[in-house]
Homo-oligomer: A and B are copies of this chain.
Amino acid sequence: MSKPKRPPPAESRNATAPKSGGKVPTVRIADLAAASRILAAQGVVDGFGHVSMRHLSAPDRYLMARALAPALVTPKDIIEYDLESNPCNAAGRPSFLERFIHGEIYKARPDIMAVVHSHSPSVIPFGLVDVPMRAMFHNAAFIAAGVPVFDIREKFGATNLLVSDGAKGVALAEIMGSHDIALMRAHGSVACGPTLEAAVFRAVYTEVNARIQHWTTALGEGSPIAALDPEEGRLADALNLGAGMRAWHLWRTMVRSQVKW
């Protein structure tokens, strides 16, 4: 096991590193770093998990922190990647092993601008038993469109469960299809959105929704659950993308009270 205080072996400056897609406004880099801390503060991620954002002006690039616990991320930890998940500007900073989740989703889904990958404990059960996650309340409306489950074992046999290369990322993106969420068996989940704020919002309320569904299932003891239907889901999700973003304002304010960016 590598000692935590010893820096990882520096990658030699790669002559073939992809070119940058151009400068991203400082404020959005800060928002992306803040998103990591927000997800940690909301209990969606712990020492693991990551959030990325598509490059604002170059759709074939995305931005994500170096391999680091989300609660510790700062703007200077953000690395730019191409959609093969090769770093443009690593400068010796190590990358997340599972960055292929992000790259392959951005490739497959031009409408998605941000991706959160997490292992929140309340969500994992829905990938382990044959009970679909459903939308328990309006804040989790995007779930009403359905939640596919990706089992890495089906295509790749016994693995360490990580989506650690492009092929696995492709397989995950295929299972996700046109949904904005996918569960990963015995591992975690992915939540996506048309903006960074929306993806964070959805990841947070997926976790809350999971807790509500656990309680509801136990309370009802098998009786039907009056969850959102798909049309209610569409209508409420549209709302969440707008007025619902009051939560982001709160969360970003809380991060700002702790850091200067």
Chain A interface residues toward B at CB < 8 A: 1-2, 4, 46-48, 67-69, 71-72, 97, 119, 121-122, 124-131, 135-139, 141, 151, 153, 158-162, 185-188, 194-195, 197-198, 208, 211-229, 231-232, 235-236, 238-239, 241-253
Tell me the complex Cα distance, A33–B232, Å.
32
Cβ–Cβ contact A245 & B124, under 8 A: no
- Please name 9 pairs of A and B residues whose Cβ atoms are closer than 8 Å in the assembled complex, sorted by A: A1-B245, A122-B215, A128-B216, A131-B220, A137-B188, A158-B229, A159-B235, A160-B235, A185-B226
Q: Is the CB of B218 within 8 A of A214?
A: yes
Copies in the complex: 4
Q: Which residues of B contact A212 (CB under 8 A)?
A: 121, 124-125, 128
Question: Which chain B positions have C-beta within 8 A of A130?
Answer: 220, 223
Give the complex CA separation of A218 and B238 in angstroms: 32
CA distance A48 to B223 in the complex (A): 29
**CA of A225 to CA of B124 in the docked complex: distance in angstroms?**
11
Q: Do the beta carbons of B243 and A71 come within 8 Å of each other?
A: no
Whether A211 contacts B135 by the Cβ 8 Å rule is: no
